[in-house]
């Protein structure tokens, strides 16, 4: 791992506000009220990544993520999606307190949908 390569694309997680040009990020913190998703479409960039950034990134980001689980990019999350989802559903992550059932539902729906990069 050269470090430089991966770290380079890290700007994504760093500052939530300027994420890929999506201007209005709404509230930023996900209160768990996602009524506009209609219940069927979960967005990785709008729902999953912000949630992981808020709840997991402090312990699971480069250069040395705990347990080798990096939550800061799509490819990293996808490669660990099964264990991430499992840890969340079992309530063992984050260790500081389980996520709300709305957030558990979000990640479950995303995995069920085939982990889309949307």
- Which stretches of the chain bind ligand HEC, using CB under 6 A? 55-56, 58-60, 66-67, 69, 80, 83-84, 87-88, 93-96, 99
Which lies closer to ligand HEC via its Cβ, residue 18 or residue 90? Answer: 90
Tell me if the bond preceding 63 is cis, omega within 30° of 0.
yes
- Token digits for 101? 């059932």
Axis crossing angle, helix 101-112 with helix 81-89, rounded to the nearest 10:
150
At closest approach, how far in Å is the CB of 93 from ligand HEC? Answer: 3
At closest approach, how far in Å is the CB of 117 from ligand HEC? Answer: 18
- Token digits for 48? 């999953």
């Amino acid at each position: 791992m050269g470090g430089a390569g991966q770290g380079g694309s890290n700007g994504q997680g760093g500052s939530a506000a300027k994420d890929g040009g999506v201007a209005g990020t709404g509230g930023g913190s996900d209160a768990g009220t996602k009524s506009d998703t209609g219940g069927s479409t979960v967005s990785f960039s709008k729902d999953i990544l912000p949630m992981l950034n808020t709840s997991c990134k402090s312990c699971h980001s480069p250069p040395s993520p705990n347990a080798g689980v990096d939550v800061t990019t799509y490819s990293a999350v996808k490669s660990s999606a099964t264990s991430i989802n499992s840890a969340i559903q079992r309530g063992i992550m984050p260790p500081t307190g389980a996520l709300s059932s709305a957030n558990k539902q979000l990640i479950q729906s995303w995995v069920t949908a085939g982990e889309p990069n949307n």
